[in-house]
Amino acid sequence: MEYIKLAEAYSELENTSKRLHKTFIISQLLKETSEEDLEHIIMLLQGRVFTDADDREIGVAAKLVLKAISVSTGFSISNIEKMWKEIGDLGEVAEKLCGKKTQNTLFSSDLDIKEVFSNLQKLASLEGMGSVDQKVKLISKLLTSAKPLEAKYVVRTVLQDLRVGVAEGTLRDAIAWAYLPGILPNYDLDTNQINPENREEYNFQVEAVQSALNKINDFSKVAITAKKGIEELNKIKIVVGKPLKVMLAQKVLNVVEAFETVGKPAVLEFKYDGFRMQIHKFEDKVTIFTRRLEEVTNQFPEVEDFVLNNVSADSCILDCEAAGFDSKTGKYTPFQSISQRIKRKYDIEKMAKDFPVELNIFDIIYFNGEDLLSTPFKERRAIIERIVKEEEKKIVLSKKIISSSEEEAQEFFDESISLGNEGLMFKNLEGVYKPGSRVGYMIKLKDVQDPLDVVILGGEWGQGKRSGWVTSLTIGILSNDGFLEIGHVGTGLKEKPEEGLSFGEITELLRPNILEEKGRELVVKPSVVISIEYEEIQKSPGYSSGFALRFPRVKLLRSDRRSDEITTLEEVEDLFYNQKKS
């Protein structure tokens, strides 16, 4: 398929805010896509060229793209920078300049999907001496052949800032619309609603796609299978060794609300201040993934041993929390004390000794060939109680009680807090496992002033002794329409790295993600997540979220969080209105 067809679809998607219209646009594109190009199209619609489980990144900064635009169009970098500052979107700059190229394009050829996808993937593999020039050459080659509209989206994809509003739910529905019978054209574009007489059939088709995604978390493979029919789609199974998205929990403010959400009686479990591990065991092989689906098996060799020695299963997928503890006192320690182990590649044994972890198992989603996603939680809990041999400070089951009593729940909450934990999880005894979803089957109870997980959207270059560092950070929360600003923060970051999370560390994380700069201000790709403490949430028309944080302070880097797992606008609204009542 020619890349221009995808670029035209991008343009249509960017120019509508109606979810069903977006779904229709994508479904029509998918219908025209050959099986050979389908995997690439699905990935590119998400603005990416690597899957969640693949830790490679395109890794190209905006200044490098400036050079590529200059090489491919013949315009000077200074002129391009001037346009960039005026327009604020390097993709649009490329579109305008590629429409009036001054370079000879006699030897250019039309772009196709496979060529664009392949060359973008190559960018991640270019390292070492001369790699910058090679990356410029690769991007400029694409731009030389690109039509103006194609150039716009090539640049945005390179910068991982597509801006066309394709949410995962929209892509899921589009796959159903494209390949499963009976839905189109039974929707009303004006009202953005599925016609009522088609609602049941629509839900059935979409659920079939969602069920497949729950099992393999791969839109491309699900789309390819859906194209063969719903019967083939229903044959998709969980594969041990391939990570699934973890189920997420809603927040509540007190035990009364917790019971109202999950029902009585409920399972109450300690909520540990560690990081999520999804552990896959197949015979004598153990693979460990974070909640971001990154493999960290090598970083936690002791956890691998715990599972091999203490879990009686030929194959299983366990949902766990690795909690750090003080080797001298045995008391649990905060997440930041063990977070540095996640990315560690050297001195693994020393790190394991200095920052030990206890594996707390709280769920299982696959056991000896059986998919447990639809199995009630009480039965899943019974399985882990049967197959896990507990060993204190190595591998244990999350501490739990089953209760209907608000008084008992409060006492259990207080006990958890006193031991250094974050609070409690409340779980519906009959609840199923919903990967990637925040459902009422599982909720978390923590302090009202619980830190917010936010994404960095931009910042400001420092001055004086902080020159060269990004200082004042623009932070945002998640909404259905993307990321919304909720304030600026610089307090809490340190000047010396040995004192904690530093300006220098944050700057190095942000540097490859810079999308645009205007004077000292910069906009970055929303990928770095931090945890923010605050005194109060206030109404504020000055920020797109409508809220601001009073006295915000950076608590820690959340390297275990993706940007789509941060605090939502709905959660901030709940916190705001509940704090006003207190």
Helix, strand or coil, per DSSP, at residue 366: strand
Is 421 exposed, middle or buried, given 0-12, 13-18 or 19+ CB atoms closer than 10 A?
buried
Tokens of 484: 């919304």
What separation in angstroms does the CA of 198 have from each of 21, 23, 175, 194, 231? 17, 16, 17, 7, 21
Contact residues for 492 (Cβ-Cβ < 8 A; gap 6+): 501, 533, 553, 554, 555
Tokens of 486: 């909720």
Distance CA 206, CA 214 (A): 12
What separation in angstroms does the CA of 129 have from each of 67, 134, 176? 17, 10, 46
Distance CA 419, CA 332 (A): 7
Distance CA 439, CA 433 (A): 9
Residue 82: active-site member: no
Closest by Cα among 572, 542, 333, 334 to 452 = 572
- Three-state helix/strand/coil letters over 280-296: EEECCEEEEEECCCCEC
The one catalytic residue in 271, 281, 434, 555 is: 271
DSSP for 377-393, written as a single string: HHHHHHHHHHHB--BTT
Maximum separation of any 2 CA atoms in the chain, in Å: 79
Query: Across the strands, what pairs with 439?
Result: 249
Closest by Cα among 451, 445, 442 to 413 = 445
Query: Across the strands, what pairs with 69?
Result: none
185 prior amide bond cis, ω within 30: yes
Distance CA 78, CA 76 (A): 5
Distance CA 209, CA 222 (A): 7
Distance CA 279, CA 243 (A): 9
Query: Any idea of the CA torsion for 32, 35, 36, 40, to the nearest 10 degrees?
Result: 70
Distance CA 434, CA 36 (A): 31
Determine if residue 313 is left, alpha or beta; phi over 0 gives left, psi from -120 to 50 gives alpha, anything else beta.
beta
Catalytic residues: 271
